[in-house]
Structure 1
């Protein structure tokens, strides 16, 4: 039976599903029991061929996506040239494809929120001539701190600060080291994805790093150009934003033993590796001591596992949005989002499932 004649079908959404799940045309042909040529025709937006009803049902079941996903008219597209990745060339195409798919789901989610809730924070950027500060990321970071009235003390919650200034934050469900974080603009709105696979300290630095890209490189047409230089600038921005120089130096312990450094990294809520680097960069650690520390950190596994880790920063605004929607519309408030609850929950830090998950009671 072929019901495709009057069936709405989005070829682009099939491509998104393919990218999201990291599938090849051959994989899809195996799922649909058809040839790779047929799959190519389904994906080709210039050809009229579409799957019949039964095959769309099969795609929905096998790929874990709602049937409505393949009928969606949502067609916002994100390209690699828009996204600030770290080490772009070292990221597998499969992971980049998945990241792009999640980016488009984030945009769809934000449009959904905008339709449901008014007066959400808007991003205003920074009121200085960035061209004068692009070569001094440290000064730019301090200027932004002043403009956002953050003072010079440690930032309690990086995600909360970003949200309050109109920067949307999402969780990247890919638990791979190759894609630790990324950011991009959509219609003037900055969007950041963070990988919770990393330690809370490194996630905070990633958030500050992506903020550096958003502030320093907002006018870039192709973010892939001069990426090594841009990455260095974003790292310098992040270090200064999280650890402002004057207070960092004045509060540093006189005896920089390992235990004192661990205590000091707790104060700034940064990784031990980042603290060690900043102490050396600002002249508080000799070259010899800095290198000795790096060897010890490597030996103890501190590059992969943070000693005495801090609590993870959590979204504040996003949490409030979900509370409001749950109260107003119930646990199925997400249904207009055609990519399904699981993906929505994953990219929104699993806030919804944590709220609606039934509590277990011990019966006596």
Structure 2
């Protein structure tokens, strides 16, 4: 009897481990072409070779036997990165996001997650994007005031959020538009305001760019416009911010405390809505980089940095109600110990996790 073997899982493990085809081939004493054939389902390895391959790629052999029907395509990754981002960095980050997505799928099969509520809206010109941001706010019952917690807004709408540790500074964030979308953010940026903007930016991709390749100047600009409109609603901002003949940094600081976004975001919004001129904006950004933004000394105005809760609560419920700890989850996903912690960011497991397996019933994950 032939044992199933899925090449896309080989590729996923290779990208996760940040190895090239040549590096894997050299470690196993085979050709680069043979590893490529495995990844494209043109060859099936022996059981002994699968064991060796798993060892090189840092997973269990059963990982290659896992078929993921919802495996996402490139157009479903909205990847916010610098232009200089290395291909290897991008691929590793995407692979980590796919591991995280598989974890979410596993948990969703055992627990009740919030119903997904991400509107799909076609918008590209500024007015349409402003309206799209207001429509999402309306559907989520947010009104037009400041958002207390952007992470919780997304997770209440059914979109799990996580932070990745140790990813290159070249990467800002990414989102995966799939049956259950997820959003990933790099944890090297400590500013709460930048965190909130990054999450709102990815929300814009999920809302406006379903089925579109992103990363170009146009789609990134659209997502930036959505983020600023979502975090700083037009009518509220216009009422709070007068036209400035000279930029008042005290007023910017006051608005920062109110809207809980960065000064850069507020200047960007003030220019969009003609509260300052283009030259004022350029001069202000220069000053921000030299003085006001050199050290975010007033980040206390934004409160503590937000933490993801949805998947953390799911893992906690899985343990408390069914005795299934994260080590057991790793076994069922054919991952090595510690791999899930790597994609969970701020997750802190209980001091002791049992491995006893019990029957699973649905259990709602509270927020």
TM-score, normalized by length of structure 1?
0.81
Q: Is the partner of 2:162 in helix, strand or coil?
A: strand
CA–CA distance in structure 2, aligned partners of residues 301 and 340 of structure 1: 45
CA–CA distance in structure 2, aligned partners of residues 25 and 301 of structure 1: 47
User: Structure 1 residue 14: deviation in Å?
Assistant: 2.2
* Residue aligning to 1:21: 17
Structure 1: unaligned runs, 5 residues or longer: 359-364
The structure, 1 or 2, with the larger RCO (C-alpha pairs under 8 Å, 6+ apart) is 2
User: Structure 1 residue 288: deviation in Å?
Assistant: 4.2
Q: 2:351 aligns with which of 336, 346, 356?
A: 356
User: Is 1:108 matched with 2:102?
Assistant: yes
Residues 323-363 of structure 1, C-alpha deviations (whole Å, 9 max, x = no match): 2112122433423222345332232233143x4389xxxxx
* Residue aligning to 1:362: none
Structure 2: unaligned runs, 5 residues or longer: 354-367
Q: 1:157 aligns with which of 149, 159, 173?
A: 149
CA–CA distance in structure 2, aligned partners of residues 138 and 131 of structure 1: 9
Alignment of 1:1-364 (within 5 A): 10-50=6-46, 52=48, 56-57=51-52, 59-60=54-55, 62-74=56-68, 76-86=70-80, 90-118=84-112, 120-126=113-119, 130=122, 136-173=128-165, 175-187=167-179, 189-198=180-189, 199-218=191-210, 220=211, 222-224=212-214, 227-252=216-241, 256-300=247-291, 302=293, 306-309=296-299, 310=302, 311-328=304-321, 329-331=323-325, 332-334=327-329, 335-353=331-349, 355-356=350-351
Q: Is the partner of 2:176 in helix, strand or coil?
A: strand
Q: Summarize the Cα distance change of 1:132–1:295 in structure 2 as closer, same or farther, 3 Å threshold.
A: closer
CA–CA distance in structure 2, aligned partners of residues 134 and 282 of structure 1: 11
Q: Summarize the Cα distance change of 1:104–1:285 in structure 2 as closer, same or farther, 3 Å threshold.
A: same
Q: Is the partner of 1:183 in helix, strand or coil?
A: strand
* Residue aligning to 1:361: none
User: Structure 1 residue 172: deviation in Å?
Assistant: 3.5
* Residue aligning to 2:361: none
Contact 1:42 1:51 (8 Å CA) reproduced:
no
Q: Is the partner of 2:177 in helix, strand or coil?
A: strand
What is the RMSD computed on CA atoms of the aligned residues? 3.3
Residues 36-78 of structure 1, C-alpha deviations (whole Å, 9 max, x = no match): 455445445212344625x725743x54333433443446432
